[in-house]
């Protein structure tokens, strides 16, 4: 690794901040505001209420996947309590932010062949990667300060708040290094993002297992995670205990992982040419197989990678979570005070997890359906639509894969989860029904994405991501945690799909599906009538 290969790194850093500053500001402001609001809202609970909530979720292995360990002394303190509930969300936010920063600054630029320009303008071979890593590091630090500010404004202690913020930035930089590695290994931005998502998924699953197999304190007053937490940076974050032990030495883990994985990424820079990945590029077919010559066949060829990248982890998570929630409540049946509450909560748990999965699947709907926009703006759509293929038939293929694929993903989760849980095969119907209920909101969101693609193609990308994030935060799972007013919660389709199928209103669910279909129809009409926009 020669020094001269880092030439112009500073220039690229400045360039990155110039063109991406709005994006970074939105991330930092978003993290700050969420921390501010979450701490404020949860601060309204009395100590006794906090304790009850902790006991309820700690007692259920399944629920422990989504919360963080908490000390016995901390259970009724807002400083610990807010992280007990929000650790999961903040980990995801820092991870997505880091993946996005690095991927945009490395692969996306290359795909757009801007990188070649930079390479010929005298920048060193490593400049692109080192600038992306430094930018990601910096933005994570700033986001950590934003988080700290959100806590301090709510009256929390300064140094604990700072350490808390930094512990998530630590996770962020490790994820950033892994995305850098993914970007170097894979051929383009979308598979780089896919690799990064799978890496983070693995971090999450390990962490979930660490919490599930952890050690529950007496009377379910919080828990500690098992040794598995040391194998995942998400676990490191949760082991810092910023308001208790304050294990500052864990930051050495974050930094070491960041440096080592980054070195790996730099190693692969030398192994490949600009614009190519290490893994890509073997000789391919000279002829298209017959199935691929049909419009739907080609759509499947273009979409199957994303679909498989989703369906396999989703099926796996279903089994994992099913196994984790299987014996739920059994341990607590005799508990004189909570016994009944646990039995009920235990039955509801798998359906809640299906709902959370459905929320995540709306991101798949977005990826699959906005493929159309990609084909239009930077793909060969111009060429395709100058053949006798009618516009709407082209669109129908992508819509089919996007809409049906989303429903299938939710059902897959419900199905594999059910396989582990159910006692008799007859019960499987109930779980599939729960899946269909939760797929309703996703179907509606898919319809909205199609409508936006037809009506405002250039804005569709940004608008859909904002909508989905809002729907998820205002929906049935996070809406109540955030204590949002009903008027806001009702705006989210997820609010209208109750967790338990027997509680869900059939009329409401059918309405969700019909609205999804109507929005899709609007999208078709609009696309038929509009200019292609490049």
Which candidate, 270, 286, 259, 472, places its Cα nearest to that of 361?
A: 472
> Phi, psi (5° rounding) for residue 224?
-115, 145
Work out whether 379 is an interface residue with another protein (CB under 8 A). Answer: yes
Which candidate, 130, 133, 140, 114, places its Cα nearest to that of 9?
A: 130
Nearer to another protein, 52 or 111 (CB): 111
What tokens were used for 100? 């996005």
Judged by CB under 8 A, the stretch of 1-9, 242-250, 339-347, 526-534 that binds another protein is 526-534
Binder of another protein out of 333, 382, 470, 480 (CB under 8 A): 382
Residues in the chain: 534
Contact in structure between 224 and 215 (CB atoms under 8 Å): yes
Work out whether 389 is an interface residue with another protein (CB under 8 A). Answer: yes
Nearer to another protein, 18 or 287 (CB): 287
What tokens were used for 26? 């939105």
Work out whether 30 is an interface residue with another protein (CB under 8 A). Answer: no
Nearer to another protein, 481 or 525 (CB): 525
Give the span between the Cα atoms of 381 and 97, in whole angstroms.
Answer: 30
Within 294-333, which residues bind another protein (CB under 8 A)?
Answer: 294-295, 298, 301-302, 305
Nearer to another protein, 14 or 293 (CB): 293
Between the alpha carbon of residue 251 and those of residues 35, 59, 147, 157, 233, the distances in Å are 22, 30, 17, 20, 10
Work out whether 384 is an interface residue with another protein (CB under 8 A). Answer: yes
Nearer to another protein, 40 or 276 (CB): 276
What tokens were used for 369? 């359906």
Q: What is the DSSP letter of 426?
A: G
Considering the complex, what minimum distance in angstroms separates the CB of residue 204 from another protein? 28
Binder of another protein out of 287, 426, 485, 486 (CB under 8 A): 287
Residues 476-505, one symbol each (x = binds another protein by CB under 8 A, - = not), give ------------------------------
Judged by CB under 8 A, the stretch of 28-36, 118-126, 286-294, 471-479 that binds another protein is 286-294
Work out whether 275 is an interface residue with another protein (CB under 8 A). Answer: yes
| Side-chain half-sphere exposure of 434, counting CA atoms within 13 A | 26
Work out whether 461 is an interface residue with another protein (CB under 8 A). Answer: no
What tokens were used for 237? 């974050």
Which candidate, 200, 173, 349, 383, places its Cα nearest to that of 261?
A: 173
Between the alpha carbon of residue 217 and those of residues 31, 36, 335, 402, 450, the distances in Å are 31, 29, 15, 45, 49
Judged by CB under 8 A, the stretch of 139-147, 237-245, 373-381, 439-447 that binds another protein is 373-381
What tokens were used for 15? 């360039």
Binder of another protein out of 44, 120, 215, 531 (CB under 8 A): 531
Work out whether 272 is an interface residue with another protein (CB under 8 A). Answer: no
Which candidate, 221, 231, 11, 274, places its Cα nearest to that of 123?
A: 11
Residues in Cβ contact with 279 at an 8 Å cutoff, skipping those fewer than 6 apart: 185, 186, 187
Nearer to another protein, 30 or 297 (CB): 297
Nearer to another protein, 467 or 525 (CB): 525
Judged by CB under 8 A, the stretch of 54-62, 93-101, 232-240, 376-384 that binds another protein is 376-384
Helices (H), 326-456: 339-378, 381-384, 391-421, 428-455
Considering the complex, what minimum distance in angstroms separates the CB of residue 389 from another protein? 5
Work out whether 278 is an interface residue with another protein (CB under 8 A). Answer: no
Considering the complex, what minimum distance in angstroms separates the CB of residue 267 from another protein? 23
> Phi, psi (5° rounding) for residue 216?
-80, 135
Binder of another protein out of 11, 119, 292, 515 (CB under 8 A): 292
Residue count at the site for another protein (CB under 8 A)?
A: 37
Judged by CB under 8 A, the stretch of 86-94, 153-161, 247-255, 280-288 that binds another protein is 280-288
Work out whether 286 is an interface residue with another protein (CB under 8 A). Answer: yes
Q: Is 199 left (phi over 0), alpha (psi -120 to 50) or beta?
A: alpha
Between the alpha carbon of residue 189 and those of residues 105, 113, 287, 377, the distances in Å are 10, 12, 26, 16
Chain mean position to CA 217: 30
Within 83-122, which residues bind another protein (CB under 8 A)?
Answer: 111
| Side-chain half-sphere exposure of 356, counting CA atoms within 13 A | 18
Residues in a beta bridge with 68: none
Work out whether 279 is an interface residue with another protein (CB under 8 A). Answer: no
Nearer to another protein, 277 or 440 (CB): 277
Nearer to another protein, 14 or 530 (CB): 530
Binder of another protein out of 10, 47, 280, 330 (CB under 8 A): 280
Binder of another protein out of 44, 46, 383, 424 (CB under 8 A): 383
Give the span between the Cα atoms of 2 and 261, in whole angstroms.
Answer: 18
Considering the complex, what minimum distance in angstroms separates the CB of residue 221 from another protein? 53
Interface residues with another protein (CB under 8 A)? 111, 187-188, 275-276, 280-281, 283-288, 292-295, 298, 301-302, 305, 378-380, 382-390, 529-532
């Amino acid at each position: 690794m020669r020094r001269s290969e880092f030439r112009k790194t500073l220039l690229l850093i400045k360039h990155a901040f110039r063109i991406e500053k709005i994006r970074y500001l939105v991330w930092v402001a978003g993290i700050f505001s969420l921390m501010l609001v979450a701490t404020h809202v949860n601060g309204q609970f009395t100590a006794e209420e906090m304790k009850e909530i902790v006991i309820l979720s700690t007692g259920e292995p399944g629920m422990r996947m989504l919360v963080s360990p908490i000390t016995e002394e901390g259970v009724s303190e807002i400083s610990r309590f807010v992280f007990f509930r929000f650790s999961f969300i903040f980990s995801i936010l820092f991870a997505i932010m880091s993946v996005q920063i690095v991927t945009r600054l490395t692969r996306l630029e290359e795909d757009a062949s801007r990188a070649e320009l930079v390479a010929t303008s005298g920048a060193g071979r490593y400049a692109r990667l080192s600038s992306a890593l430094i930018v990601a590091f910096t933005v994570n630090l700033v986001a950590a300060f934003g988080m700290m500010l959100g806590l301090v404004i709510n009256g929390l202690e300064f140094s604990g708040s700072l350490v808390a913020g930094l512990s998530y930035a630590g996770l962020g930089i490790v994820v950033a290094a892994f995305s850098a590695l993914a970007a170097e290994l894979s051929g383009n931005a979308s598979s780089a993002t896919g690799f990064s998502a799978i890496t983070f998924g693995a971090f999450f699953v390990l962490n979930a297992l660490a919490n599930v197999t952890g050690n529950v304190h007496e009377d379910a007053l919080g828990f500690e995670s098992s040794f598995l937490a040391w194998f995942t940076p998400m676990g490191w974050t949760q082991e810092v205990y910023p308001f208790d032990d304050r294990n500052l030495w864990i930051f050495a883990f974050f930094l070491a992982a960041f440096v080592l994985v980054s070195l790996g990424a730099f190693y692969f820079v030398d192994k490949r040419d600009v614009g190519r990945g290490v893994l890509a590029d073997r000789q391919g077919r000279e002829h298209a197989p017959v199935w691929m010559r049909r419009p739907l066949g080609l759509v499947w060829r273009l979409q199957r990678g994303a679909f498989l990248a989703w369906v396999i982890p989703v099926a796996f998570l279903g089994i994992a979570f099913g196994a984790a929630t299987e014996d739920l409540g059994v341990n607590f049946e005799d508990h004189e005070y909570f016994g009944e509450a646990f039995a009920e909560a235990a039955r509801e748990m798998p359906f809640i997890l299906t709902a959370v999965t459905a929320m995540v699947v709306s991101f798949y709907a977005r990826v699959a359906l906005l493929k159309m926009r990609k084909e239009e703006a930077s793909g060969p759509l111009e060429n395709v639509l100058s053949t006798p293929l009618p516009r709407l038939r082209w669109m129908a293929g992508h819509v089919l894969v996007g809409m049906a694929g989303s429903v299938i993903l939710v059902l897959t989760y419900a199905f594999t989860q059910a396989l582990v849980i159910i006692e008799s095969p007859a019960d499987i119907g109930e779980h599939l029904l729960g899946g269909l209920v939760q797929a309703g909101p996703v179907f509606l969101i898919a319809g909205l994405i199609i409508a936006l693609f037809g009506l405002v193609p250039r804005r569709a990308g940004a608008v859909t991501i904002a909508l989905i994030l809002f729907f998820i935060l205002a929906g049935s799972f996070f809406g109540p945690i955030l204590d949002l007013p009903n008027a806001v919660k009702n705006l989210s389709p997820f609010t209208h799909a109750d967790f338990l199928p027997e509680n869900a209103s059939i009329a409401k669910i059918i309405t969700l599906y019909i609205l999804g279909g109507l929005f899709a129809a609007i999208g078709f009409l609009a696309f038929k009538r509009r200019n292609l926009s490049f």
